[in-house]
A and B are shown apart, each in its own frame.
Chain A
C-alpha cells in the first residue's frame, strides 16, 4: 500500500490526480493539501511522529503563500535522508523553462511532470 501526498492549490487537480491514482493503485493512502504550508506541517508532523513519509509527493509550483520551490527550500532544511524512500515530483502547468531548470537544484526532487498526470504516465513513474 503506497502513500501519496498531493499538494496543489487547485482542488480539481487534487481530485483528478487522486482519481488517476485510484485507477492505478488498489487502495492507496492519499493525503491532499491545497496549501503548501499545511503540507509542510503535515510532513513535519510525520517526522515528529516518526511516521513514514509518503512514497510519492506531487507538488504544484505556482501556489499562493508558499510556492513549490519555497516548500522544497523548507524541506531541504530537514535531514535529507528522511526523503530517501520518497519520490517528489513537481507537477505543473507552467511552460516556463526557468522552472524546469530551477527544479534541478533540489536533490530531493525526482522529476518534473506536466499536468495532467494520466494513468499511463503514472504507471511509468
Chain B
C-alpha cells in the first residue's frame, strides 16, 4: 500500500476537522452575539422601567422634560436628544441633551424643532434620516434619529421627543433599526401617558391652591372640579361628604345624593384597601394636615380601582377649619402602563426562554432573587418549588466544587468594585438529577449615581453541548493525529518489530488502557503467541505466560472474532464460560479484541485489556480501535510481503545460479551487467561479451559469424536463434539463445537478457530421429510399392487365367462337365483375387491416413449393391433408412470398403431358400456420432462363432467362400475411424451389424 496516499487521506481528514472547528466557533460567535443582543435589550427595558419609576415622582415640568431627554440618551443609547413641551398658552419648555455647543439661540432650536415636527406624523415613532435634517440648521450635523410627537387637545399641549446620532459618531452607535423604533415607541408612549397625568395633577394642584385663597374662587374651582376628569370630594370638618363632582360619580358609580352625608371610608373602601395607607389618611385628617395616599377603592358595583388621593384641609382667613377637599386621581391607567412594562418583560421572558437563556435578578436591598423558567430548568429546579427556594443559597450550592471558589471570588469582586459586567463560565450540578452542566453567565451590576450596588442582573446560557462538541472535536483531532502517527510510523516496515512496539505504545498511551498486545498464530493455526505487548504503569506483563496459547482451550475466542469482527466486554463475566477464567486469572476487567488479517486470512489478534475498571468504550473509540487494528493488519501484511519478496528474491537468485540455462545480461551498449555460472560452463568463454545479442539480433549474429565467434545461426522463432559454436575445448556445441530486452521501471529498454540453453545433445538426437524418420519414410514407400507390385504381379497372371477361362466358357463346343470344371477353376481364381484385394485393403487401412470428405452414402450403397448383384446375381433387396440428407462426412474409401464387406456378407450368406431376402441399411445421426446398422434376414451366426467373427482369418463355416479377413478389416477400419462395431445375430433368423463412428459435422 502507498503510505503517502494514506497520509494524504489523513491530512485531508485533519483539514476537514479544522474547517469544522472554524465553523463551530463561527456558530458559537453567533450565539454569543444573540446573547449580547438580548442582554442589551434587557438592559434597555430595565432602563425603561427606571425611567418609568422616576417619572412618576412629583417633578417640575423642566425636570420632567430633562428626565425624558436624558432617558432618550440612556435608554436608547443615542448621542443627543431634544425634548420640547408647549402648552396652550405657548409656554415652551425645551431641553437639549448631548448637543455640542453651537452658536444657536434657544429660540432657534425651538423654531427648528417645531419646523421638523410639522412635517411628521403625530403619535407614531419614526426613524429619521439625513433628508429630514438637511435644511434645519440646528440638526444639520445629525445623520439619523428617532422622532415622536403628540398633541393633547383637551389639555392643550404638545410634546416632541427626538433622539439623534451625528454623522461624525454614527460608526460607534448601532444603526437605528425597527427594534429601536419599537423601544422608542414604548418609551414615548409611556412619556406621553406620564406627562398627561402630570399635567392633570398640576392643574388640580393649581386649582386647589387657588381655592384655598378664596371662597369665590372655590366656587369657580368647583365648577372646574366638576369639569375635571379627576374625582373631587368636598367634605365638612367632620369628613362628611358635602359635594362630589361628576368625575367621582363616573369613577365610583355613586351619585352626589348617594354620597352626601357619608364619610368616604364608610363606602369607598373594601377588602384589598391597604390598611396602613388608610390609617395614615385618618391620622392626617384628624391632624388637619395635607396627605397623599394611594388606595384601592371600590365602585358601587364592587370593582376595585386605584386611586391616588390627596386630601387638603381648607381653612378661612382666620384659620378656622372649614372643610376638606379630596382630590382623587384614578391611577388605574398608570398601572396599566406599568402592566405594559410587565407585558414587555414577559415578552422578553418569552424571547429568553426560546433562546434558552436563563435570567436572574438579585436585588441588593432585599437580597431577593428572581429566576426565569429557563434558568430553573437549567438548574433542574421544579417550577412548583420556585416560591420556597432560597436562591442565593441554592445557587452557591449548585456551583460545582471545582469552580465555586473562583465564581465566588469573581462575583464578590463584581459586587464590591466598580466593574459593570462579569462574564464567566462554570460547572453546575443540577438539583434534580445531579448532572454536571457547564454554563456561561453574564452578570451586570447596576448601581445608582453614588455607585451603590442596586442589583445584579444575570443571563445564563447552558453551553454543555457546545463544550462537549468542542471536547469531542478535540478528541477526534487527537484520534486523527494518533492515526496519522501510526500510519506514518508503520508506512515503512524496516525494523518492523520496534515499529509495532512503538505503535501499540502510542495506542496504549492514547486510550489509557492497561495493556495492548498482539497475538500471532503459529503455522498450524492451532496456537497463537503473544508477540508484542505494551503495559501501562503498574500493570504486569503477561507476555511470557501467553506463548503457545491454544485456541482449542478457548474455542469461543476465535469464533467470536471471526463471526462478529471483535470481542468486546465491558465486564468480562458476560463472556462465554471458556474465556472468563482465563481473563480473570490475568485480572482483566474489560476487554476488546480485534482480529488481524493478512491477505484476507485470519492470523491473530490485537487486544486491549483494562484491569482497573469496567471500561465502557464510546462508539468513536471502538471505531478508532477497529481502524488501528486495520492499520496494524496492513503493516503485518506489508511486512510479510516484503519478507516473501526477500525470500523469493533469494530463491530466484539461487535458481538463476543453479539453473541449467546460461544467462547473460548486458546494457544497451552490449557491456555485461550480469552472467551466471552456467553461462561460463556452457561456453567456457572468458569474454562473455562475445556472445551478447542485442535488439537487432540478426545483425549481431551475422557479425559474430564473420568474426568467427560462432559458426552459424538459424532463426527458430521471434528472438530465438540456434547457434553453433566451436568451443575452446574444440567441442562443437549447439545453443538455443533467446534475446529479451530488460525493461527498467520507467518502461525504457535498459539492456538485454540472453538465455543460452545447450541443445547439442538434443540436436544430435533430433538429427538421428530425422534420419531415422527419413529412412522409415523410404521404407514405408518401398513397402507400399512392394505391396502394390506384389498384388499387381500376383493379380496379372490370375486375371489372365480368369480371362482365358472366360474365353473358354464362351466357346460353344463345351460339354457340361468341362463347363463345370471351368466354373470351379473360375471360382477359385476369383477367391484368390478376393484374398489379394482384401490383403491390400488391410494394408491400405493400416498405413494410410484418414482423409475426410463429404459424400452421398446412398449413392455409395447403391453402387456397392449394383456391383454385388452383378457378381452374385442373387435376388436380395436393399432397403435404406436414413434420417436427414444422404450426405455424410467420413473417409470415403474406408467407408466404401466397410460397407462393401458388410453388405457383401449379407448377400453372400442369405438363406438359400428365401425369396424375400433383404439387407437393410439404417443411419441415425447423433450430435457427435453416426450410428449405422446393416441388418439382414440371412443365415445368421451361431452363438459359438459370434465372438470370433471379427478375428483375423476366422471363417464361420466351411461353406463360406470368404478369406476370413472381411470382418477383421471392418473392425480395423472402424477402429481407425475412431468408432466401434458390434454384432447381434441369431442362427436362421438374421444378423445385425451396428457401427458407430464420429460424426465429423464440423468438417470443412
Could you list which residues of chain A lie within 8 angstroms of chain B, going by C-beta atoms?
10, 12-13, 16, 19-20, 23, 62, 92-97, 115-116, 118-119
Contacts and interface: CB of A to CB of B under 8 A. Distances in A.
A93 B807 contact: no
B810 interface: yes
A10 B800 contact: yes
B625 to A, nearest CB: 86
Given A20-B807, A119-B810, A95 B837 contact: yes
B803 A93 contact: no
Given A12-B804, A23-B810, A95-B840, A115 B799 contact: yes
Contacts of B798: 93
B810 A95 contact: no
12 contacts: A13-B796, A13-B800, A13-B803, A93-B792, A93-B795, A93-B799, A95-B795, A95-B840, A97-B893, A115-B800, A116-B800, A116-B806
A10 to B, nearest CB: 6
B803 A16 contact: yes
Interface in B796-819: 796-800, 802-804, 806-807, 810
Contacts of A93: 792, 795-796, 798-799
The 4 closest A-B pairs by CB, nearest first: A116-B803, A16-B803, A93-B795, A12-B800
Given A10-B796, A10-B800, A94 B788 contact: yes
Given A97-B893, A116-B800, A19 B807 contact: yes
B804 A95 contact: no
Nearest to A96: B788
A23 B788 CA distance: 32
Contacts, number: 54
B791 A16 contact: no
Contact of A116 (B788, B792, B799): B799
Given A97-B893, A115-B796, A16 B788 contact: no
B834 to A, nearest CB: 12
Contacts of B797: 12
Contacts of A96: 788, 792
Contacts of B893: 97
A113 to B, nearest CB: 12
B802 A116 contact: yes
Contacts of B796: 10, 13, 93, 115
Interface string B938-972: 00000000000000000000000000000000000
Nearest to B840: A95
Nearest to B836: A95
A93 B837 CA distance: 11
Given A94-B795, A97-B893, A118-B803, 18 more contacts: A10-B800, A12-B797, A12-B800, A12-B803, A13-B796, A13-B799, A13-B800, A13-B803, A16-B800, A23-B810, A94-B792, A95-B795, A95-B836, A95-B837, A95-B840, A96-B788, A116-B800, A116-B806
Contacts of A20: 803, 807
A97 B803 CA distance: 23
Nearest to A97: B893
For A12, A13, A23, A93, the residue with the greatest tally of chain B CB atoms inside 10 Å of its CB is A93
Contacts of A13: 796, 799-800, 803
Given A10-B796, A94-B792, A95-B840, A16 B804 contact: yes
A93 B840 CA distance: 13
Interface in B406-453: none
A18 to B, nearest CB: 11
Interface string B828-848: 000000001100100010000
Nearest to B784: A96
A3 B448 CA distance: 165
A12 B798 CA distance: 11
B802 to A, nearest CB: 6
A93 B799 CA distance: 7
A96 B840 CA distance: 9
A8 B554 CA distance: 103
Nearest to A92: B792
Nearest to A119: B810
A111 B211 CA distance: 174
Contacts of B837: 95
Nearest to A62: B792
Nearest to A17: B803
Contact of B788 (A10, A12, A95, A119): A95
A13 B788 CA distance: 19
Contacts of B840: 95
